[in-house]
Structure 1
Amino acid sequence: MTENAPLVGKRIGLLTASASRLGGGVFEAVAAQARLLRDLGAEPLIFALDDVHSQADAARFGGAPVQTFAVRGPGQIGYAPKLVPALLAAKLDLLHLHGIWMYPSQAASRWAAQSGGGYIISPHGMLDPWITARGRWKKALARAGYERRSWRRASFLHALTGAEAHDIARESGRSDSVVIANAGPNAGRIPSTARAPHLLYIGRIHAKKNLIALVTAWCQARRPDAARLTLAGWGEDSDVAALQAAVAAAGPSVHFVGPQYGAAKQALLGDARFTVLPSHSEGLPMSVLDSWAAGVPSLMTRHCNLPEGFAAGAALDCGDRPESIVPVLEQVLTMAEPEWHQMARAAHDLASGPFSSRVIAARWASAYRSAMTVGPR
C-alpha cells in the first residue's frame, strides 16, 4: 500500500449481523472486503451483533478493529441499542452494510440520515425468491418497518451478479445497482496430478444448500471403490442433526467432519477432485471461489449465479434434484485425467483473472469513491 492508494486515509465501516462463522458466506465476504480495503489504503472498521463466536473469529479481519453489540429482545431481529451511537462516534467516511432483514439495516439507514455519509447495501443474495418466500410475514414487517426506507436512502445497492441486480430491482424498485463479484482468494498452483475420486462440500449446513439431496444421490450413484464424499461445515443444531442422520445412513464412503478452517480447509481442498454445491439459492458462493483458487473444479447449480464457471469449463451443472445429481457424480468420479486437468486449469484461470482481488479491487475503488461523492439519497 502506498500514499497513492485510491482510498488512502478513508474510514469505511463494514456492518453485518454476524462477524463470525455463524454468518456463513457473508462473514467470509466481509473478511475479504476488509482485506481489500486495506490494500486500497482505507481503514476498515467492523461492526456487528455479538454472538458466541465473535471473539474467537475477530482475528479473521486481519487486525481491523471489530466492535460487537449486545442484542435485546428476539435474536432474529437483532435490536442492538448501542449500535447507532457507535457508528456515529466512529466518524466514518462511508458505511457498507452486508446483509439485510435485521436491525443493522435500520441502524445503517439512521446513520446515513444523521451523518450525511455515503451508504452502500450488499444484500448478498437475500432478495433471491427462494429466500423471500421463507418467513414471508417477518419479511413483510421488515419491509414496512425499515427495509424500504433503507433501500431508498442508500447511495446504491450492490449486486454480486446480474441475476441479483434483477432481484434487487424487483424488490426495491431501484434499477441502479452496481454489479461487482466477490473476489476470490489468491490463486495457488494448478494441481500437477489428478486426484482420487474424492468430492467435497464445505460451507454452511442449511436447508438451502440441499445437502440431503446430495447424500441421497451419492447413495444411488455407481461409484468406484475409492470414492469418498466429505461434508464440512457448521450450522444450526437441527440442520446439522438432519445431515448427520443422512450421513450415518449412507455408509462409510460419506463423512461429516464439522467446521474446517485455515490449514485444515486447505488440506481438504488439496485432496478433492471436485467440490459440490447443489444449492437452491446463493448470492455468489465464496466456497466456489475458494475451490477455483485451489485449482479444483466444481459441481454446482445455476442458482449459484456463476455462469462463468460453466462457460469456461471450470464447473458442471448438477441440478438440485437427486435424479440430476446422480449422472454428474458418476461422470466426475470416473473422469479421465486429461479432461480433469483441463477443468482444473479453467478453474485456476477464473480465480487468477476475472475473480482476482486485483480486478475486483479496482472496481470497488471506483464504487466507493462514487458513493462518498453522492452521499445518501
Structure 2
Amino acid sequence: MKVLQTIGGFGAKGGGTSTCTYDLLTSMHQSVSGADVDLLTPSVTDPSDRIMGNGEQWIKVVDNDYRTPLSISKNMVDFLQQSNYDVYHTNGMWMHINHITCSVARSKNKPYVITPHGMLYPEALARSAWKKWPLRKLWFDRDIREAGCIHATCQDEMKHLRTLGYKGPIALIGNPVCVPLCTSEFIGYRNHKPDGLIKLGFLGRLHPRKHVEKILQGVALIQDKNIEIYIMGKGDDSYEEFLHNEVLRLGLGDRVHFLGFLNGREKFEQLSKMTALFVPSDIENFGMIIPEALIVGTPVMASLGTPWEALNIENCGWWKDNSPESIAEVIEEIKDLSPDQLYAMGARGREYILKNFAADRVATQMYSLYQWLNGDLDKPDFVYE
C-alpha cells in the first residue's frame, strides 16, 4: 500500500502544522513496518527558510509556482494527476492543493483523508468568511462530504465537524509528540525556582490571537519582582512591537525577555528552564507547545480555548480562563508551590504525554487508518461513524 500526503507549505518556519506532519511521517517511516508514505509540497520562497527535514527521499518537493490568491500550482496538479497511490491525505484547508488532492483521489476512485488542523472550527470559519463561503460552495463542501475519513486531533474538533454537518467517519488521533534524545538531559531534578526566581514562558508564533499580552498583564497585577517572562517566537512584526510597548506601559522593564524563534535542542532546553509555560490563546486546535513543554517536565497553564482539560485531571498544570486575573491566580499558586511539588507536576505531565501521544503510537494509529480505508483491516476503535 502506497500513501501520499500533501501540504501547501512545508518550511521550517511554518509552525505547528509543518512540524507535526513531519514528526508523524518520520515516525511512520521509522517505527511502522512496511509504511510507504510520501509527502508532496512546493519549495519554499523565503530565502531564510528551508524545507523541513534532512532531504528525506519520501519528501517530494516541486518548484513553487503558486499563482493567484488561491495558490494554484500547475506543478502540484501535474504530480498528483500522474501519481499512483492507494490512499491520499491532505493537510489543511482553503488552498488549491487541499482541494485538488481530494479531486484527483475521486477521479482515481481512491479513498482520501482530510486533516483540517483546526481550520473548520467555528472561529476559524468566521475569519475571512467572505472568502471561505464561496470556496466551500465551489470545492470544499463536496471534498468534506465525500472524504473517506476526516482526521480530528481532539474531541472538540470532532464535535465541530459534526456540527458542521459532516456525517462520515472521523478518526480521533492526537498529534504526535516526538521525544528528542536531548530531552533526557533536561528531565532530571532541577530547581524550578532558582534563587526564588519564577520564570514564566510563552512559546509560539507571535500573533494577536495568541494573547501574549495577557501574561504581561497578569504579571503586572502581582507586585513581585522575582517573576520574569521569556517570550519564545517570532511572527507578526506589528504585534511584537505592541508587546514591547505593553512591557513599557506596564512597567515590567528588563523582566521580559524576547528570545526570538527557537527550534530543535535549543527550544527544549529553554522550555526545561521555565517554571511554567503559559498558553493564553483564545483557541488552539491541539496546541503542540503544550505537550512539548510537558515532555521536558515543565507544568503548563492553558486557556479553556485549548483541548487540554487533562492538565487539571492529571494535575500537571492549569486549564483555566485566559483573563489576566486568572493568569495572576495561577502565578500566585505557583509562588506557593515548592520546587519538589512543581517537579512532581512536570513528571506527571511527561508520563501522560508518553502514554497517550508518543509519536510511534500515533504513527501506528494513522497507518491502521490507511489500512482500513484500503480494505486491509477492520475499522479501528478510534474511528467514529
TM-score (norm. length: structure 2): 0.87
Write the letter of the residue equivalent to 2:235: G
Matched, 1:218 2:219: yes
CA contact (8 A) 1:269 1:291 kept: yes
- Coordinate RMSD, CA, aligned: 2.2
Per-residue deviation, residues 268-311 of structure 1 (Å, max 9, x unmatched): 11211111101111111111111111111101012211222221
Write the letter of the residue equivalent to 1:34: L
Cross-structure match for 2:301:
299
Per-residue deviation, residues 308-345 of structure 1 (Å, max 9, x unmatched): 22211112024222122111122224421232122111
Cross-structure match for 1:5:
none
CA contact (8 A) 1:295 1:348 kept: yes
Cross-structure match for 1:7:
none
The farther-off stretch of 129-138 and 37-46 is: 37-46
Cross-structure match for 2:256:
254
CA contact (8 A) 1:194 1:337 kept: yes
* Residues 145 and 272 of structure 1: CA distance in aligned 2, closer, same or farther (over 3 Å): same
Cross-structure match for 2:192:
195
Mapped partners of 1:284, 1:136: distance in 2 = 22
Cross-structure match for 2:5:
14
Mapped partners of 1:58, 1:138: distance in 2 = 28
Mapped partners of 1:94, 1:27: distance in 2 = 20
What secondary structure, in the 3-state scheme, does the structure 2 residue paired with 1:204 have?
Answer: coil
C-alpha deviation, 1:30, in angstroms: 0.8
Mapped partners of 2:236, 2:46: distance in 1 = 13
Cross-structure match for 1:165:
158
Mapped partners of 2:320, 2:255: distance in 1 = 20
Cross-structure match for 2:345:
343
Cross-structure match for 1:234:
234
Mapped partners of 2:321, 2:190: distance in 1 = 28
What secondary structure, in the 3-state scheme, does the structure 2 residue paired with 1:96 have?
Answer: strand
The farther-off stretch of 159-168 and 237-246 is: 237-246
Write the letter of the residue equivalent to 1:331: E
C-alpha deviation, 1:88, in angstroms: 2.9
* Residues 263 and 247 of structure 1: CA distance in aligned 2, closer, same or farther (over 3 Å): farther
- Indicate which of 102, 109, 124 corresponds to 2:102: 109
CA contact (8 A) 2:12 2:52 kept: no
Structure 2's unaligned 5+ residue stretches are 377-385
Cross-structure match for 1:204:
205
Per-residue deviation, residues 207-254 of structure 1 (Å, max 9, x unmatched): 22111222222222233x332111111223333333343345442111
- Indicate which of 283, 303, 321 corresponds to 2:285: 283
Cross-structure match for 1:26:
17
1:78-117 to structure 2, matched below 5 A, reads 78-117=71-110
Mapped partners of 2:350, 2:336: distance in 1 = 21
1:95-174 to structure 2, matched below 5 A, reads 95-174=88-167
* Residues 62 and 32 of structure 1: CA distance in aligned 2, closer, same or farther (over 3 Å): farther
- Indicate which of 41, 56, 63 corresponds to 1:48: 41
Mapped partners of 2:29, 2:270: distance in 1 = 29
* Residues 324 and 154 of structure 1: CA distance in aligned 2, closer, same or farther (over 3 Å): same
What secondary structure, in the 3-state scheme, does the structure 2 residue paired with 1:353 have?
Answer: helix
* Residues 47 and 211 of structure 1: CA distance in aligned 2, closer, same or farther (over 3 Å): same
Mapped partners of 1:55, 1:177: distance in 2 = 37
Aligned residues: 362
Identity of aligned residues (%): 21
What secondary structure, in the 3-state scheme, does the structure 1 residue paired with 2:286 have?
Answer: coil
Mapped partners of 2:73, 2:111: distance in 1 = 22
What secondary structure, in the 3-state scheme, does the structure 2 residue paired with 1:83 have?
Answer: helix
Mapped partners of 1:143, 1:128: distance in 2 = 14
Mapped partners of 1:235, 1:12: distance in 2 = 33
TM-score (norm. length: structure 1): 0.89
C-alpha deviation, 1:49, in angstroms: 4.3
Mapped partners of 2:339, 2:294: distance in 1 = 17
Write the letter of the residue equivalent to 2:236: E
Cross-structure match for 1:6:
none
CA contact (8 A) 2:5 2:88 kept: yes
* Residues 79 and 328 of structure 1: CA distance in aligned 2, closer, same or farther (over 3 Å): same
Write the letter of the residue equivalent to 2:219: W
- Indicate which of 343, 367, 370 corresponds to 2:369: 367
* Residues 156 and 312 of structure 1: CA distance in aligned 2, closer, same or farther (over 3 Å): same
Cross-structure match for 2:66:
71
Cross-structure match for 2:381:
none
The farther-off stretch of 63-72 and 140-149 is: 63-72
CA contact (8 A) 2:24 2:362 kept: no
C-alpha deviation, 1:172, in angstroms: 4.0
Write the letter of the residue equivalent to 1:307: E
